[in-house]
């Protein structure tokens, strides 16, 4: 039995890849799934051939230091492809490494699905022709990405944002605050510094400074920091309470009212944005700035978004199922 290989280079990629792996297991339980990933993929029963915490690096010196490890991993993947062990490659974000994996798969004649494609519309538009040469299918999470990539000859399908999956089990504000031990009447500020250690090391001081400035003007403001499982924070630099692997609870606890995805009444999304030293913080409750768009314009949006999301994901899974009978069995 040949394998389906997932490559997710950081915590967010691990989370998104796990959703695809779980769905693929339900429709094709016979497939053997392996991955460069983390704990979320492992929870889906995917065999990890390399853990992702060593891949998500930033900065010239950090990248340079990790080049030997990346090269060894790429060489291992290339050999697996050349030996015919891999039937399908599913890449998730992390273009610096994954574009090299795509090239190796292309050379070995192995189909490639790229989920959460490089943001070529934001920077590096010159990569689009290369992307078109290397991948078989693109599953994109923003609606404008589909026509953009299709215009360059890439078979792209808009599947919606994977965070929609997580909102289905999102706690209420009361439940989130009870779970986190935050009184219902206390204003709370949530900080989300990221999932890459080097990124956090560079900008955590700005986050902390922002929070301290807010505490001067908002009485009893409680600050909580959402921490990805792949990072560590020094309490000397970040003196606030750390909450691990519970980003949705942290977000729900810190906002006065979160979007109800069943109604999508964004009019109820009462919040205050703070911008200090280029850092955005989400604060509440308190005198928020409600969105001015009339509520009547919002009902039904969530249903349409979710329908597009499910239709797109089902289309991609059908493609995976179509490829698998042709190429998975040895």
pLDDT, one tens digit per residue, over 69-85 is 788 899 999 999 999 99
**Is 315's pLDDT higher than 80?**
no
pLDDT at 85: 95
- As a whole number, mean pLDDT of residues 221-232 equals 84
Could you report the per-residue pLDDT of 9-67, keeping only the tens digit for each? 777 888 899 999 998 888 889 899 999 998 889 999 999 998 865 454 444 334 445 56
Stronger pLDDT, 250 or 83, i.e. the higher one: 83
* Cα separations in angstroms, 85 against 34, 41, 204, 315: 11, 20, 42, 26
- As a whole number, mean pLDDT of residues 216-240 equals 86
Confidence class of residue 296 from pLDDT cuts 50, 70 and 90? Answer: very low
pLDDT at 318: 64
**Is 328's pLDDT higher than 80?**
no
Angle between helices 173-180 and 247-254 (to 10 degrees): 110
Confidence class of residue 273 from pLDDT cuts 50, 70 and 90? Answer: very low
Q: Which residues contact 114 (CB under 8 A, 6 or more apart)?
A: 91, 98, 102, 131, 135, 137, 138, 139
Confidence class of residue 314 from pLDDT cuts 50, 70 and 90? Answer: low
Top mean-pLDDT range of 150-154, 302-306, 319-323 = 150-154
Stronger pLDDT, 152 or 311, i.e. the higher one: 152
**Is 180's pLDDT higher than 80?**
yes
Confidence class of residue 162 from pLDDT cuts 50, 70 and 90? Answer: confident
pLDDT at 53: 52
- As a whole number, mean pLDDT of residues 281-300 equals 33
- As a whole number, mean pLDDT of residues 140-144 equals 88
Question: What domains, with CATH codes, occur in the chain?
Answer: 3-161+306-327 (3.40.50.2000), 169-295 (no CATH)
Average pLDDT over the chain, rounded to an integer: 76
Stronger pLDDT, 217 or 111, i.e. the higher one: 111
- As a whole number, mean pLDDT of residues 225-254 equals 86
Could you report the per-residue pLDDT of 82-114, keeping only the tens digit for each? 999 999 999 998 888 899 999 999 999 999 999
pLDDT at 207: 85
pLDDT at 316: 63
**Is 302's pLDDT higher than 50?**
no
pLDDT at 308: 60
């Amino acid at each position: 039995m040949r394998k389906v290989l997932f490559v997710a280079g950081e915590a967010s990629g691990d989370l998104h890849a796990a959703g695809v792996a779980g769905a693929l297991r339900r429709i094709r339980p016979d497939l053997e799934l392996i991955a460069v990933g983390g704990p979320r993929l492992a929870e889906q029963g995917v065999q990890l051939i390399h853990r992702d915490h060593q891949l998500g690096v930033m900065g010239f010196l950090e990248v340079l230091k990790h080049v030997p490890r990346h090269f060894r991993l790429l060489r291992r993947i290339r050999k697996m492809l050349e030996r015919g062990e891999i039937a399908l490659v599913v890449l998730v974000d992390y273009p610096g490494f994954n574009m090299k994996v795509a090239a190796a798969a292309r050379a070995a004649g192995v189909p490639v699905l790229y989920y959460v494609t490089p943001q070529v519309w934001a920077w590096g538009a010159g990569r689009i022709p290369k992307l078109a040469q290397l991948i078989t299918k693109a599953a994109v999470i923003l609606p404008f990405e589909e026509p953009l990539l299709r215009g360059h000859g890439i078979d792209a399908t808009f599947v919606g944002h994977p965070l929609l999956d997580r909102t289905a089990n999102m706690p209420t504000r009361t439940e989130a605050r009870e779970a986190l031990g935050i009184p219902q009447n206390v204003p709370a500020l949530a900080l989300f510094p990221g999932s890459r250690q080097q990124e956090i090391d560079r900008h955590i001081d700005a986050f902390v400074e922002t929070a301290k400035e807010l505490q001067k003007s908002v009485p009893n403001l409680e600050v909580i920091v959402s921490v990805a499982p792949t990072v560590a924070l020094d309490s000397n630099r970040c003196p606030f309470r750390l909450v691990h692997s519970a980003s949705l609870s942290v977000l729900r606890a810190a906002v006065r009212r979160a979007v109800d995805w069943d109604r999508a009444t964004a009019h109820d999304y009462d919040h205050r944005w703070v911008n200090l030293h280029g850092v955005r913080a989400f604060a509440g409750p308190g005198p928020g700035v409600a969105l001015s768009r009339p509520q009547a314009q919002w009902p039904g949006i969530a249903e349409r978004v979710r329908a597009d999301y499910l239709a797109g994901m089902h289309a991609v899974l059908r493609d995976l199922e179509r490829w698998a009978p042709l190429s998975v069995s040895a």
